[in-house]
């Protein structure tokens, strides 16, 4: 198999020579002329059944050539036959849960915490009409029921970077399909389908786009499961916009380079934070003791570019001092972002559940970008010194 660097550049571009173009084209059509009524009818019925292509796109809500190229590219990078793209990662998750649970009548979900806060909230809110059981990795087999339609996990997990052994998880799930959120790892560092996962989900807004200017979500899956998800997308009108598809597809070409460069910086920052006097704990897969199941190197090809750490004092004072890091949600951009999950990304998770899976008010999540490591460290260190001064004043007063 060709290198991930080569595949990232060429994936989804096979037809460009035949089209007579070099750069990815953008198709903004909302409707498409038909050669005759019969061909349009056939195409419409095929697309409604979830086909990845037909004789005509017919209408822009059903399918789009620019979106389809991005889907083929991501499917190739994840080693799966097909992928379906949506306007956001949450839209992709909703359609996948609906296809796996509501359409099949198996309305029970087993999920591993921590998960992205939006995912956690969606599963517990009752919006989707599913029942969720949260379980540790070792409890999954016992949590499976006759009506379980899906097992959901995220690894590395948001925001504690916990690692899940996917081989063990898939074995515990048995015949129940497993959905893995691969947003943090990306196809560069991990391919969950190679370990038995049925669905591989990405918030494409993050690393796949990589520049903080395109929102989208995508789920890769076997052909039959992808067709079921695509049928739902057609019915609900949740198709990814072609301009975003163009930007996200373009981002794939530099994905390996961006992930590898940011990962090197993240590893250095994690090591320095682990001995900083203002930091009580650092969560990063590359640190000693962070990989009890031996996932790194066997399943995960690198520790990634996201880390989190806990401070001895409330961290808002530190966040206010940062000048190079942007205090904002999201991750995976070329610039470094920082946020406090308990106040933002995981605020809608109940307090007790949030604390139980290690998300304390003092936890800070860092998405490391492409800046110079010394510049980033200088900014972090200066901000952390504020917490030390606060603590000294508190002790001496």
Residues with Cβ within 8 Å of 211's Cβ and at least 6 positions away in sequence, in order, are: 247, 251, 333, 334
DSSP string, 279-312: EEEEE-TTSTTS-TT--BTTTBSS--SEEEEEES
DSSP 7: H
Which one, of 297, 294, 74, lies nearest residue 187 by Cα?
74
Mark whether 362 is an active-site residue.
no
Token pair for residue 279? 């930091």
281, 362, 365: which is closest to 325 by C-alpha? 365
**Which position among 61, 264, 272, 301 bears the catalytic label?**
61
Give the active site residue among 69, 116, 162, 340.
Answer: 116
Q: Where are the beta strands (DSSP E) in the chain?
A: 82-86, 108-111, 131-134, 148-154, 178-181, 199-203, 217-221, 279-283, 306-311, 326-327, 337-339, 363-367
DSSP state, residue 33: -
Q: Assess whether 291 carries a catalytic annotation.
A: no
Is 207 annotated as catalytic?
A: no
Catalytic residue among 106, 206, 230, 362: 206
d(CA 179, CA 92): 12
The radius of gyration computed from the CA coordinates of the chain, to the nearest angstrom, equals 22
Given 181, 230, 233, 246, which residue is catalytic? 181
Q: How far is CA 28 from CA 31, 32, 59, 241, 245, in A?
A: 9, 11, 11, 9, 11
Annotation marks residue 32 as catalytic: no
Q: Is 39 helix (H, G, I), strand (E, B) or coil?
A: helix
Q: Which residues are known catalytic residues?
A: 61, 116, 181, 206
């Amino acid at each position: 198999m060709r290198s991930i660097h080569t595949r990232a550049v060429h994936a989804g571009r096979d037809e460009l020579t035949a089209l007579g173009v070099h750069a990815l084209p953008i198709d903004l059509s909302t409707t498409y002329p038909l050669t005759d009524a019969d061909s349009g009818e056939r195409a419409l019925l095929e697309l409604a059944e979830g086909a990845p292509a037909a004789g005509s796109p017919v209408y822009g809500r059903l399918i789009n050539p620019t979106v389809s190229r991005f889907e083929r590219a991501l499917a190739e990078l994840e080693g799966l036959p097909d992928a379906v793209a949506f306007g956001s990662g949450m839209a992709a998750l909703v359609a996948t849960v609906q296809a796996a649970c509501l359409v099949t009548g198996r309305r029970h979900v087993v999920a591993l915490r921590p998960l992205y806060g939006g995912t956690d909230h969606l599963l517990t809110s009752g919006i989707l009409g599913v029942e969720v059981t949260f379980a540790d990795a070792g409890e999954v087999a016992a949590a499976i029921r006759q009506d379980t339609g899906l097992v959901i996990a995220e690894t590395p997990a948001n925001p504690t970077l916990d690692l899940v052994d996917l081989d063990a998880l898939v074995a515990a799930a048995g015949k129940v399909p497993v959905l893995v959120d691969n947003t943090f790892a990306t196809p560069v560092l991990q391919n969950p389908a190679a370990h038995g996962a049925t669905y591989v989900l990405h918030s494409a807004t993050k690393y796949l786009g990589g520049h903080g200017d395109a929102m989208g979500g995508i789920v890769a899956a076997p052909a039959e499961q992808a067709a079921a998800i695509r049928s739902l997308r057609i019915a609900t009108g949740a198709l990814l916009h072609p301009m975003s598809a163009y930007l996200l597809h373009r981002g794939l070409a530099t994905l390996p380079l961006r992930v590898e460069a940011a990962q090197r910086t993240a590893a250095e920052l994690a090591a320095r934070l682990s001995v900083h006097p203002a930091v009580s704990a650092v969560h990063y897969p590359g640190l000693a003791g962070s990989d009890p199941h031996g996932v790194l190197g066997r399943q995960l090809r690198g520790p990634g570019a996201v880390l989190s750490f806990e401070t001895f004092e409330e961290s808002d004072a530190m966040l206010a001092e940062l000048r190079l890091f942007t205090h904002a949600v999201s991750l995976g951009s070329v610039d470094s972002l920082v946020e406090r999950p308990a106040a933002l990304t995981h605020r809608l998770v109940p307090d007790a559940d949030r604390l139980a899976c290690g998300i304390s008010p003092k936890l800070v999540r860092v998405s490391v970008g492409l800046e110079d490591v010394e510049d980033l460290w200088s900014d972090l260190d200066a901000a952390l010194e504020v917490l030390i001064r606060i603590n000294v004043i508190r002790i001496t007063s």
